[in-house]
Structure 1
Protein backbone atom coordinates (compact mmCIF):
# COMPACT_ATOMS: atom_id res chain seq x y z
CA UNK A 1 0.00 0.00 0.00
CA UNK A 2 1.32 3.44 -0.92
CA UNK A 3 1.68 5.78 2.07
CA UNK A 4 0.32 9.33 1.89
CA UNK A 5 3.11 11.90 2.41
CA UNK A 6 2.88 13.66 5.81
CA UNK A 7 0.12 11.27 6.99
CA UNK A 8 0.38 10.46 10.70
CA UNK A 9 -1.67 8.15 12.90
CA UNK A 10 -3.09 10.24 15.73
CA UNK A 11 -2.33 7.45 18.20
CA UNK A 12 1.38 7.92 17.45
CA UNK A 13 1.38 11.59 18.53
CA UNK A 14 1.58 12.67 22.17
CA UNK A 15 0.31 16.00 23.51
CA UNK A 16 3.64 17.79 22.99
CA UNK A 17 3.97 16.44 19.47
CA UNK A 18 0.45 17.55 18.60
CA UNK A 19 1.15 21.05 19.91
CA UNK A 20 4.30 21.23 17.78
CA UNK A 21 2.34 20.24 14.67
CA UNK A 22 -0.08 23.13 15.22
CA UNK A 23 2.40 25.71 16.56
CA UNK A 24 2.18 29.22 15.14
CA UNK A 25 5.23 30.65 13.35
CA UNK A 26 7.63 32.40 15.70
CA UNK A 27 8.41 36.13 15.78
CA UNK A 28 5.20 37.26 14.07
CA UNK A 29 5.10 40.95 13.14
CA UNK A 30 1.58 40.78 11.67
CA UNK A 31 -1.56 38.73 12.31
CA UNK A 32 -1.30 35.10 11.19
CA UNK A 33 -4.85 34.00 10.37
CA UNK A 34 -5.72 30.36 11.01
CA UNK A 35 -9.24 29.14 10.31
CA UNK A 36 -10.67 25.98 11.85
CA UNK A 37 -13.67 24.10 10.49
CA UNK A 38 -15.27 20.67 10.46
CA UNK A 39 -17.25 19.18 7.58
CA UNK A 40 -18.86 15.89 6.66
CA UNK A 41 -17.51 13.68 3.89
CA UNK A 42 -20.07 15.22 1.51
CA UNK A 43 -19.10 18.78 2.41
CA UNK A 44 -21.72 19.81 4.98
CA UNK A 45 -20.44 22.36 7.51
CA UNK A 46 -23.28 21.70 9.97
CA UNK A 47 -25.52 18.90 11.22
CA UNK A 48 -28.77 19.99 12.82
CA UNK A 49 -27.86 23.60 11.93
CA UNK A 50 -24.74 23.65 14.17
CA UNK A 51 -21.15 22.58 13.55
CA UNK A 52 -21.04 20.82 16.92
CA UNK A 53 -23.21 18.10 15.41
CA UNK A 54 -20.23 16.98 13.31
CA UNK A 55 -17.70 16.84 16.14
CA UNK A 56 -15.68 13.75 17.00
CA UNK A 57 -13.37 13.19 20.01
CA UNK A 58 -10.23 13.95 17.98
CA UNK A 59 -11.82 17.06 16.45
CA UNK A 60 -12.66 18.30 19.96
CA UNK A 61 -9.09 17.60 21.08
CA UNK A 62 -7.62 19.72 18.28
CA UNK A 63 -10.33 22.39 18.71
CA UNK A 64 -9.28 22.90 22.35
CA UNK A 65 -5.57 22.88 21.47
CA UNK A 66 -6.07 25.55 18.80
CA UNK A 67 -7.83 27.73 21.35
CA UNK A 68 -4.97 27.22 23.80
CA UNK A 69 -2.51 28.35 21.12
CA UNK A 70 -4.39 31.46 19.96
CA UNK A 71 -4.12 35.12 21.00
CA UNK A 72 -7.69 35.81 19.90
CA UNK A 73 -10.68 33.81 18.61
CA UNK A 74 -12.46 35.48 15.71
CA UNK A 75 -16.09 34.72 14.91
CA UNK A 76 -19.06 36.23 13.12
CA UNK A 77 -22.12 37.42 15.02
CA UNK A 78 -24.39 34.89 13.28
CA UNK A 79 -22.25 32.04 14.54
CA UNK A 80 -22.22 33.51 18.06
CA UNK A 81 -26.01 33.43 18.05
CA UNK A 82 -26.42 30.03 16.36
CA UNK A 83 -23.80 28.26 18.51
CA UNK A 84 -24.63 30.11 21.76
CA UNK A 85 -21.03 31.21 22.24
CA UNK A 86 -19.61 31.91 25.66
CA UNK A 87 -16.08 32.94 26.54
CA UNK A 88 -13.21 30.58 25.77
CA UNK A 89 -12.39 28.01 28.44
CA UNK A 90 -8.70 27.21 28.05
CA UNK A 91 -6.07 25.39 30.10
CA UNK A 92 -4.00 28.05 31.91
CA UNK A 93 -1.09 25.70 32.61
CA UNK A 94 -0.94 24.51 29.01
CA UNK A 95 -1.15 28.10 27.67
CA UNK A 96 1.85 29.05 29.80
CA UNK A 97 3.76 25.96 28.63
CA UNK A 98 2.94 26.68 24.98
CA UNK A 99 4.13 30.26 25.42
CA UNK A 100 7.40 29.11 27.00
CA UNK A 101 8.04 26.83 24.00
CA UNK A 102 7.30 29.61 21.50
CA UNK A 103 4.27 27.81 20.04
CA UNK A 104 1.58 30.31 21.07
CA UNK A 105 -0.41 30.47 24.29
CA UNK A 106 0.01 33.25 26.84
CA UNK A 107 2.66 34.06 29.44
CA UNK A 108 0.01 34.45 32.18
CA UNK A 109 -2.20 31.60 31.00
CA UNK A 110 -5.24 33.85 30.56
CA UNK A 111 -7.82 32.78 27.92
CA UNK A 112 -7.93 34.45 24.52
CA UNK A 113 -10.76 36.96 24.03
CA UNK A 114 -13.57 36.26 21.58
CA UNK A 115 -13.61 38.92 18.85
CA UNK A 116 -17.03 39.21 17.18
CA UNK A 117 -17.47 40.80 13.77
CA UNK A 118 -20.79 42.62 13.46
CA UNK A 119 -21.26 45.72 11.29
CA UNK A 120 -24.59 46.45 13.01
CA UNK A 121 -23.52 45.65 16.62
CA UNK A 122 -26.64 43.48 16.78
CA UNK A 123 -25.89 41.29 19.79
CA UNK A 124 -27.88 40.70 22.96
CA UNK A 125 -26.06 42.31 25.91
CA UNK A 126 -27.39 39.43 28.03
CA UNK A 127 -25.97 36.65 25.82
CA UNK A 128 -23.43 34.09 27.11
CA UNK A 129 -20.62 35.85 25.27
CA UNK A 130 -20.91 38.65 27.85
CA UNK A 131 -22.23 36.80 30.89
CA UNK A 132 -20.11 33.62 30.78
CA UNK A 133 -16.54 34.70 30.16
CA UNK A 134 -13.27 35.31 32.00
CA UNK A 135 -12.08 38.07 29.65
CA UNK A 136 -14.08 40.84 27.95
CA UNK A 137 -15.06 40.08 24.35
CA UNK A 138 -14.09 42.42 21.53
CA UNK A 139 -16.97 43.70 19.40
CA UNK A 140 -15.61 44.69 15.98
CA UNK A 141 -18.17 47.03 14.44
CA UNK A 142 -18.69 50.23 12.47
CA UNK A 143 -19.23 53.94 13.06
CA UNK A 144 -22.75 53.72 11.60
CA UNK A 145 -23.92 50.91 13.91
CA UNK A 146 -26.59 52.25 16.30
CA UNK A 147 -24.90 54.13 19.16
CA UNK A 148 -27.32 52.74 21.76
CA UNK A 149 -26.47 49.15 20.82
CA UNK A 150 -22.75 49.85 21.11
CA UNK A 151 -23.26 51.55 24.46
CA UNK A 152 -25.30 48.63 25.81
CA UNK A 153 -22.55 46.18 24.80
CA UNK A 154 -19.89 48.37 26.39
CA UNK A 155 -21.98 48.66 29.58
CA UNK A 156 -22.24 44.86 29.63
CA UNK A 157 -18.44 44.60 29.67
CA UNK A 158 -17.41 44.33 26.01
CA UNK A 159 -14.66 46.34 24.36
CA UNK A 160 -16.37 47.94 21.36
CA UNK A 161 -14.02 48.72 18.46
CA UNK A 162 -15.06 50.75 15.41
CA UNK A 163 -13.01 49.83 12.33
CA UNK A 164 -15.02 51.27 9.44
CA UNK A 165 -17.81 53.56 8.41
CA UNK A 166 -20.44 51.14 7.09
CA UNK A 167 -18.58 47.83 6.77
CA UNK A 168 -15.91 45.80 8.55
CA UNK A 169 -13.25 44.93 6.00
CA UNK A 170 -10.83 42.04 6.66
CA UNK A 171 -7.77 44.29 6.50
CA UNK A 172 -9.24 46.87 8.89
CA UNK A 173 -10.30 44.07 11.22
CA UNK A 174 -6.81 42.55 11.30
CA UNK A 175 -5.21 45.97 11.76
CA UNK A 176 -7.36 46.50 14.86
CA UNK A 177 -6.21 43.14 16.27
CA UNK A 178 -2.58 43.92 15.43
CA UNK A 179 -2.86 47.25 17.28
CA UNK A 180 -3.67 45.21 20.39
CA UNK A 181 -0.79 42.78 19.88
CA UNK A 182 -3.14 39.95 18.89
CA UNK A 183 -1.16 38.24 16.13
CA UNK A 184 -2.15 34.58 16.53
CA UNK A 185 -5.67 34.71 15.12
CA UNK A 186 -8.01 31.71 15.18
CA UNK A 187 -11.20 32.10 13.12
CA UNK A 188 -13.96 29.61 14.00
CA UNK A 189 -16.63 30.82 11.59
CA UNK A 190 -18.99 31.23 10.20
CA UNK A 191 -18.95 30.52 6.46
CA UNK A 192 -19.64 34.14 5.45
CA UNK A 193 -16.80 35.56 7.56
CA UNK A 194 -14.52 32.75 6.37
CA UNK A 195 -15.42 33.52 2.76
CA UNK A 196 -14.69 37.22 3.23
CA UNK A 197 -11.28 36.48 4.73
CA UNK A 198 -10.44 34.04 1.93
CA UNK A 199 -11.63 36.43 -0.78
CA UNK A 200 -9.41 39.15 0.72
CA UNK A 201 -6.46 36.70 0.64
CA UNK A 202 -5.64 37.10 4.34
CA UNK A 203 -6.03 33.46 5.45
CA UNK A 204 -2.63 31.89 6.10
CA UNK A 205 -3.83 28.39 6.96
CA UNK A 206 -6.93 26.24 7.22
CA UNK A 207 -7.32 23.46 9.75
CA UNK A 208 -10.05 21.17 8.46
CA UNK A 209 -11.56 18.12 10.13
CA UNK A 210 -13.44 15.67 7.92
CA UNK A 211 -15.95 13.79 10.06
CA UNK A 212 -16.68 10.21 8.93
CA UNK A 213 -20.37 10.85 8.16
CA UNK A 214 -22.62 11.75 5.26
CA UNK A 215 -25.21 14.48 5.91
CA UNK A 216 -27.04 15.41 2.70
CA UNK A 217 -29.76 18.02 3.07
CA UNK A 218 -29.12 21.71 2.45
CA UNK A 219 -26.30 22.37 4.91
CA UNK A 220 -23.86 25.13 3.97
CA UNK A 221 -20.19 24.77 3.03
CA UNK A 222 -17.37 26.04 5.25
CA UNK A 223 -16.88 29.17 3.09
CA UNK A 224 -19.38 31.41 1.28
CA UNK A 225 -18.43 34.49 -0.73
CA UNK A 226 -19.88 36.84 -3.29
CA UNK A 227 -17.30 35.88 -5.91
CA UNK A 228 -15.44 32.76 -6.88
CA UNK A 229 -11.71 32.78 -6.20
CA UNK A 230 -8.87 30.30 -6.36
CA UNK A 231 -6.28 30.07 -3.56
CA UNK A 232 -3.53 27.48 -3.85
CA UNK A 233 -2.76 25.65 -0.61
CA UNK A 234 -0.08 23.19 0.49
CA UNK A 235 -0.81 20.33 2.87
CA UNK A 236 0.98 20.92 6.18
CA UNK A 237 0.01 17.62 7.75
CA UNK A 238 -2.66 14.95 7.74
CA UNK A 239 -3.70 13.12 10.93
CA UNK A 240 -5.73 9.92 10.82
CA UNK A 241 -7.82 8.77 13.77
CA UNK A 242 -8.98 5.17 14.24
CA UNK A 243 -12.66 6.23 14.04
CA UNK A 244 -12.16 7.56 10.49
CA UNK A 245 -11.76 11.23 11.37
CA UNK A 246 -9.23 13.04 9.16
CA UNK A 247 -7.52 16.15 10.53
CA UNK A 248 -5.66 18.27 7.98
CA UNK A 249 -3.75 21.53 8.05
CA UNK A 250 -3.45 23.46 4.78
CA UNK A 251 -1.01 26.37 4.44
CA UNK A 252 -1.18 29.15 1.84
CA UNK A 253 1.52 28.94 -0.83
Structure 2
Protein backbone atom coordinates (compact mmCIF):
# COMPACT_ATOMS: atom_id res chain seq x y z
CA UNK A 1 0.00 0.00 0.00
CA UNK A 2 1.27 3.47 -0.81
CA UNK A 3 -0.24 6.89 -0.28
CA UNK A 4 -0.39 9.04 -3.39
CA UNK A 5 -2.28 11.96 -1.84
CA UNK A 6 -1.86 13.92 0.33
CA UNK A 7 1.93 13.77 0.23
CA UNK A 8 3.29 12.57 3.61
CA UNK A 9 6.17 10.45 4.86
CA UNK A 10 4.06 7.41 3.85
CA UNK A 11 4.06 8.51 0.21
CA UNK A 12 6.34 6.18 -1.70
CA UNK A 13 6.84 5.32 -5.36
CA UNK A 14 8.30 1.93 -4.49
CA UNK A 15 6.13 -1.09 -5.27
CA UNK A 16 5.72 -3.92 -2.81
CA UNK A 17 5.44 -1.85 0.37
CA UNK A 18 4.21 -3.84 3.36
CA UNK A 19 0.43 -3.92 3.92
CA UNK A 20 -0.75 -1.18 6.23
CA UNK A 21 -1.72 -2.15 9.75
CA UNK A 22 -5.26 -1.67 10.96
CA UNK A 23 -4.06 1.25 13.09
CA UNK A 24 -2.58 2.93 9.99
CA UNK A 25 -5.82 2.40 8.09
CA UNK A 26 -7.84 3.73 11.03
CA UNK A 27 -5.73 6.89 11.09
CA UNK A 28 -6.05 7.32 7.33
CA UNK A 29 -9.84 7.00 7.47
CA UNK A 30 -10.53 8.74 10.77
CA UNK A 31 -13.72 10.80 10.90
CA UNK A 32 -13.19 14.54 11.15
CA UNK A 33 -13.62 16.12 14.56
CA UNK A 34 -17.31 16.89 15.02
CA UNK A 35 -18.68 19.88 16.88
CA UNK A 36 -21.47 19.32 19.39
CA UNK A 37 -24.59 18.19 17.55
CA UNK A 38 -22.81 17.78 14.22
CA UNK A 39 -22.84 14.56 12.18
CA UNK A 40 -20.92 13.12 9.23
CA UNK A 41 -22.28 10.75 6.59
CA UNK A 42 -19.74 8.87 4.50
CA UNK A 43 -20.38 6.22 1.87
CA UNK A 44 -18.19 3.24 1.07
CA UNK A 45 -18.55 1.78 -2.42
CA UNK A 46 -16.54 -0.11 -5.04
CA UNK A 47 -16.65 0.43 -8.80
CA UNK A 48 -15.09 -1.20 -11.86
CA UNK A 49 -13.10 0.90 -14.32
CA UNK A 50 -16.11 1.06 -16.62
CA UNK A 51 -18.48 2.26 -13.93
CA UNK A 52 -20.15 -0.93 -12.69
CA UNK A 53 -21.09 -0.93 -9.03
CA UNK A 54 -21.68 -4.68 -8.96
CA UNK A 55 -21.33 -7.88 -10.98
CA UNK A 56 -24.15 -10.43 -11.07
CA UNK A 57 -25.91 -8.36 -8.42
CA UNK A 58 -23.06 -8.35 -5.88
CA UNK A 59 -20.11 -6.09 -5.16
CA UNK A 60 -17.76 -8.85 -3.99
CA UNK A 61 -16.43 -9.80 -7.47
CA UNK A 62 -15.04 -6.26 -7.80
CA UNK A 63 -13.38 -6.26 -4.40
CA UNK A 64 -9.98 -7.34 -3.07
CA UNK A 65 -8.46 -8.42 0.24
CA UNK A 66 -7.26 -4.87 0.94
CA UNK A 67 -10.63 -3.44 -0.06
CA UNK A 68 -12.25 -5.72 2.52
CA UNK A 69 -9.73 -4.58 5.17
CA UNK A 70 -10.72 -0.99 4.43
CA UNK A 71 -14.40 -2.03 4.48
CA UNK A 72 -13.89 -3.51 7.96
CA UNK A 73 -11.96 -0.46 9.15
CA UNK A 74 -14.67 1.95 8.01
CA UNK A 75 -17.26 -0.14 9.84
CA UNK A 76 -15.14 -0.24 12.98
CA UNK A 77 -14.87 3.56 13.01
CA UNK A 78 -18.61 4.18 12.55
CA UNK A 79 -21.38 4.61 15.09
CA UNK A 80 -23.93 3.27 12.61
CA UNK A 81 -23.96 1.48 9.25
CA UNK A 82 -26.91 2.52 7.07
CA UNK A 83 -27.97 0.10 4.35
CA UNK A 84 -30.91 -0.41 2.02
CA UNK A 85 -33.18 -3.43 2.27
CA UNK A 86 -32.26 -4.72 -1.20
CA UNK A 87 -28.58 -4.75 -0.27
CA UNK A 88 -29.41 -6.63 2.94
CA UNK A 89 -31.15 -9.28 0.87
CA UNK A 90 -28.55 -9.53 -1.90
CA UNK A 91 -25.39 -9.35 0.18
CA UNK A 92 -26.62 -11.54 3.05
CA UNK A 93 -26.06 -8.96 5.78
CA UNK A 94 -25.24 -10.16 9.27
CA UNK A 95 -24.93 -8.24 12.54
CA UNK A 96 -21.82 -6.12 13.01
CA UNK A 97 -19.34 -7.83 15.31
CA UNK A 98 -17.08 -6.51 18.02
CA UNK A 99 -13.45 -6.50 16.91
CA UNK A 100 -10.71 -6.69 19.50
CA UNK A 101 -8.34 -4.75 17.25
CA UNK A 102 -10.62 -1.70 17.51
CA UNK A 103 -11.95 -2.15 21.06
CA UNK A 104 -9.68 0.42 22.70
CA UNK A 105 -10.19 2.95 19.91
CA UNK A 106 -13.99 2.61 20.12
CA UNK A 107 -13.98 2.85 23.90
CA UNK A 108 -11.86 6.01 23.78
CA UNK A 109 -14.33 7.52 21.30
CA UNK A 110 -17.27 6.70 23.58
CA UNK A 111 -18.62 4.09 21.17
CA UNK A 112 -20.21 0.74 21.89
CA UNK A 113 -18.46 -2.54 21.03
CA UNK A 114 -19.87 -2.62 17.48
CA UNK A 115 -21.70 -0.24 15.16
CA UNK A 116 -25.47 -0.30 14.94
CA UNK A 117 -26.90 -1.59 11.64
CA UNK A 118 -29.74 0.62 10.34
CA UNK A 119 -31.84 -0.82 7.51
CA UNK A 120 -33.81 1.59 5.33
CA UNK A 121 -36.98 0.06 3.92
CA UNK A 122 -40.41 1.20 2.75
CA UNK A 123 -42.10 -2.20 2.54
CA UNK A 124 -40.27 -3.96 5.41
CA UNK A 125 -40.10 -7.00 3.10
CA UNK A 126 -37.38 -8.63 5.16
CA UNK A 127 -36.86 -11.92 6.97
CA UNK A 128 -36.95 -10.82 10.59
CA UNK A 129 -35.87 -14.27 11.81
CA UNK A 130 -32.36 -13.68 10.41
CA UNK A 131 -29.52 -13.03 12.89
CA UNK A 132 -29.29 -9.40 11.73
CA UNK A 133 -32.62 -8.77 13.44
CA UNK A 134 -32.99 -11.59 15.94
CA UNK A 135 -29.48 -11.90 17.39
CA UNK A 136 -27.37 -8.74 16.96
CA UNK A 137 -24.82 -7.55 19.51
CA UNK A 138 -26.66 -4.22 19.51
CA UNK A 139 -30.31 -3.87 18.36
CA UNK A 140 -30.77 -3.32 14.64
CA UNK A 141 -32.69 -0.22 13.59
CA UNK A 142 -35.36 -0.38 10.88
CA UNK A 143 -36.02 3.02 9.32
CA UNK A 144 -39.29 3.38 7.44
CA UNK A 145 -42.15 5.74 6.71
CA UNK A 146 -45.17 6.65 8.81
CA UNK A 147 -47.55 4.71 6.54
CA UNK A 148 -45.48 1.52 6.30
CA UNK A 149 -47.50 -1.75 6.50
CA UNK A 150 -48.58 -2.16 10.11
CA UNK A 151 -48.16 -5.94 10.13
CA UNK A 152 -44.57 -5.66 8.91
CA UNK A 153 -43.82 -2.97 11.48
CA UNK A 154 -45.16 -5.32 14.17
CA UNK A 155 -43.04 -8.19 12.82
CA UNK A 156 -39.93 -6.03 12.93
CA UNK A 157 -40.61 -4.92 16.50
CA UNK A 158 -41.36 -8.50 17.58
CA UNK A 159 -37.94 -9.59 16.31
CA UNK A 160 -36.21 -7.20 18.68
CA UNK A 161 -35.41 -4.55 16.07
CA UNK A 162 -36.17 -0.91 16.83
CA UNK A 163 -38.48 0.69 14.26
CA UNK A 164 -37.74 4.35 13.54
CA UNK A 165 -40.14 6.52 11.55
CA UNK A 166 -38.09 8.70 9.20
CA UNK A 167 -40.65 9.82 6.63
CA UNK A 168 -44.22 11.02 6.38
CA UNK A 169 -45.32 8.58 3.65
CA UNK A 170 -44.45 4.97 2.93
CA UNK A 171 -40.77 5.67 2.34
CA UNK A 172 -38.10 7.61 4.17
CA UNK A 173 -36.78 11.15 3.84
CA UNK A 174 -32.97 10.77 3.44
CA UNK A 175 -32.29 14.03 5.30
CA UNK A 176 -34.49 12.87 8.16
CA UNK A 177 -32.66 9.52 8.31
CA UNK A 178 -29.42 11.37 9.04
CA UNK A 179 -31.06 13.51 11.73
CA UNK A 180 -32.92 10.62 13.39
CA UNK A 181 -29.66 8.72 13.72
CA UNK A 182 -27.77 11.74 15.01
CA UNK A 183 -30.50 12.35 17.61
CA UNK A 184 -29.72 8.86 18.94
CA UNK A 185 -26.06 9.76 19.31
CA UNK A 186 -25.12 7.95 16.09
CA UNK A 187 -23.23 10.85 14.54
CA UNK A 188 -20.40 9.04 12.72
CA UNK A 189 -22.47 7.51 9.96
CA UNK A 190 -21.51 5.10 7.19
CA UNK A 191 -23.67 3.94 4.30
CA UNK A 192 -22.76 0.89 2.23
CA UNK A 193 -25.53 1.36 -0.29
CA UNK A 194 -27.08 0.07 -2.27
CA UNK A 195 -27.01 2.35 -5.28
CA UNK A 196 -30.58 3.57 -4.88
CA UNK A 197 -30.08 4.55 -1.24
CA UNK A 198 -26.79 6.28 -2.02
CA UNK A 199 -28.48 8.14 -4.87
CA UNK A 200 -31.15 9.35 -2.46
CA UNK A 201 -28.55 10.67 -0.04
CA UNK A 202 -26.74 12.42 -2.90
CA UNK A 203 -29.95 13.98 -4.24
CA UNK A 204 -30.88 15.17 -0.74
CA UNK A 205 -27.48 16.87 -0.40
CA UNK A 206 -26.60 15.10 2.87
CA UNK A 207 -23.60 13.03 1.80
CA UNK A 208 -20.39 14.43 3.30
CA UNK A 209 -17.82 11.94 2.02
CA UNK A 210 -17.45 9.19 -0.57
CA UNK A 211 -14.86 6.46 0.00
CA UNK A 212 -14.66 4.80 -3.42
CA UNK A 213 -12.49 1.81 -4.28
CA UNK A 214 -11.74 1.76 -8.00
CA UNK A 215 -11.21 -1.84 -9.07
CA UNK A 216 -8.88 -2.50 -12.05
CA UNK A 217 -11.55 -4.57 -13.74
CA UNK A 218 -13.87 -4.25 -16.74
CA UNK A 219 -17.32 -5.80 -16.74
CA UNK A 220 -19.25 -4.24 -19.68
CA UNK A 221 -22.94 -5.22 -19.54
CA UNK A 222 -25.59 -3.10 -17.89
CA UNK A 223 -24.67 -3.31 -14.20
CA UNK A 224 -25.95 -0.46 -12.04
CA UNK A 225 -23.66 2.43 -11.12
CA UNK A 226 -22.77 3.05 -7.49
CA UNK A 227 -25.52 5.68 -7.20
CA UNK A 228 -28.93 5.55 -8.83
CA UNK A 229 -32.29 7.15 -8.28
CA UNK A 230 -33.17 10.80 -8.87
CA UNK A 231 -30.83 13.00 -10.90
CA UNK A 232 -29.46 16.09 -9.17
CA UNK A 233 -30.21 19.39 -10.89
CA UNK A 234 -26.63 20.62 -10.50
CA UNK A 235 -23.73 18.13 -10.36
CA UNK A 236 -22.09 18.15 -6.94
CA UNK A 237 -18.33 18.59 -6.92
CA UNK A 238 -16.25 17.03 -4.13
CA UNK A 239 -12.60 17.50 -3.25
CA UNK A 240 -10.00 14.74 -3.05
CA UNK A 241 -9.02 14.09 0.56
CA UNK A 242 -6.99 10.89 0.24
CA UNK A 243 -5.70 8.51 -2.42
CA UNK A 244 -4.10 5.13 -1.70
CA UNK A 245 -2.91 2.53 -4.22
CA UNK A 246 -2.16 -1.17 -4.09
CA UNK A 247 -2.01 -3.79 -6.84
CA UNK A 248 -3.74 -1.48 -9.30
CA UNK A 249 -6.66 -0.69 -6.97
CA UNK A 250 -7.20 2.96 -6.11
CA UNK A 251 -8.71 3.68 -2.71
CA UNK A 252 -10.09 7.20 -2.76
CA UNK A 253 -11.77 9.53 -0.31
CA UNK A 254 -13.64 12.58 -1.58
CA UNK A 255 -15.24 15.11 0.74
CA UNK A 256 -17.82 17.84 0.37
CA UNK A 257 -16.24 21.16 -0.56
State if a TM-score over 0.5 links the two structures.
Answer: yes
Look up the match of 2:143: 140
Instruction: Specify which of 79, 88, 95 is matched with residue 80 of structure 1.
Output: 88
Measure, in 2, the Cα distance between the counterparts of 1:77 and 1:12: 34
Counterpart of 1:58? Answer: 66
Tell me the matched-pair count.
Answer: 245
Say if 1:66 and 1:90 are closer, same or farther in 2 by CA, change over 3 A.
farther
The within-5 A match list for 1:138-217 is 138-166=141-169, 167-217=171-221
Number of the residue aligned with 2:241: 236
1:129 aligned partner:
132
* 2:34 aligned with 1:31: no
- Report the CA distance between 1:143 and its aligned residue: 1.6
- TM-score, normalization by structure 1: 0.90
| Superposition deviation, residue 171 in structure 1 | 1.5
- Cα displacement (A) at 1:31: 2.0
Note closer, same or farther for the CA distance 1:4–1:86 as it changes in structure 2 (3 Å cut). Answer: closer
In structure 2, relative to structure 1, the CA distance for the partners of 1:214 and 1:23 (3 Å cut) is: same
Q: For structure 2, list consecutive stretches of 5 or more residues without a partner in the other structure.
A: none
The answer to whether the 8 Å contact 1:50/1:82 transfers is: yes
Does the Cα contact within 8 Å between 1:75 and 1:190 map onto a contact in 2?
yes
1:147-192 alpha-carbon deviations (Å, 9 max, x no partner): 1111111111100111222131112111110110000000000101
- TM-score, structure 2 normalization: 0.88
Q: Shift of residue 121 of structure 1? A: 2.1
In structure 1, list runs of 5 or more residues that go unmatched.
none
Please, what is the CA RMSD of the aligned residues?
2.0
Change beyond 3 A, Cα 1:221–1:144: same
